[in-house]
């Protein structure tokens, strides 16, 4: 039995400890905002926060999460999350949308650690999040806009 927090709610998982967190989130908890892309930590579609740090849930076994706090796109909150979501909507970042919850989770984590990132910071923080629709330019702009909005 693994006890952990998911979006600030206590959860128990009774199955195989090798089960990837992504399956627990999607199949057991029915939170489908977090996406499966590659399954091998190469695309970032499955990004969630583990104790505030962005991780790839497709390669994170649930058995390693005893006592941990996991946040998904459905539960992420706070100043940075509000600013990022607003900036994403304002400049209409997504195209197909498939990669976007992972992009947003990485962007929020970046702003939580670096309040006014430059292009280099953004590229470094977002390099593990692949977008097949190539929305990278709008993602970068939205992160700058979110940072600016938090200054006011």
* Residue number with CB closer to ligand FES (3 or 96): 96
For residues 103, 99, 56, 69, the Cα torsion angle rounded to the nearest 10 degrees is: 60
User: Is residue 34 a contact residue for ligand FES (CB under 6 A)?
Assistant: no
Q: Which one of 7, 13, 21, 37 is in contact with ligand FES (CB under 6 A)?
A: 37
- Compose the 60-99 pattern: x for residues touching ligand FES by CB under 6 A, - for all others: ----------------------------------xxxxxx
The residue to which tokens 């938090």 are assigned: 150
% helix, strand, coil for the chain, step of 5: 40, 15, 45
How many CA atoms are closer than 13 Å to the CA of 101, on its beta-carbon side?
22
Smallest gap from residue 128 Cβ to ligand FES (A): 7
> Does residue 100 belong to the site contacting ligand FES (CB under 6 A)?
yes
Assess 58 for contact with ligand FES (CB under 6 A). yes
Residues 6+ apart with CB under 8 A from 118: none
Between the CA atoms of 18, 23, 27 and 33, what dihedral angle is there, to the nearest 10 degrees?
160
Residue from 44, 81, 104, 105 binding ligand FES (CB under 6 A)? 44
Question: In the bound complex, what is the minimum distance in angstroms from residue 1's beta carbon to ligand FES?
Answer: 25
Positions touching ligand FES (CB under 6 A) are 36-39, 41-46, 56, 58, 94-100, 131-133, 135
């Amino acid at each position: 039995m693994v006890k952990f927090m998911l979006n600030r709610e206590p959860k128990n998982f009774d199955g195989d400890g090798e089960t990837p967190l992504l399956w627990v989130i999607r199949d057991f908890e029915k939170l489908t905002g977090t996406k499966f892309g590659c399954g091998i930590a190469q695309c970032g579609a499955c990004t969630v926060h583990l104790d505030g740090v962005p991780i790839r849930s497709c390669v994170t076994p649930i058995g390693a999460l005893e006592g941990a706090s996991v946040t998904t796109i459905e539960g992420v909150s706070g100043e940075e999350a509000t600013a990022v979501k607003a900036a994403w909507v304002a400049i209409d970042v997504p195209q197909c949308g498939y990669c976007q919850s992972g992009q947003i989770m990485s962007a929020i984590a970046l702003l939580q650690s670096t309040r006014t990132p430059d292009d280099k910071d953004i590229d470094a923080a977002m390099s593990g999040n692949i977008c097949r629709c190539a929305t990278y330019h709008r993602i970068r702009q939205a992160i700058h806009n979110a940072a600016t909005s938090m200054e006011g």
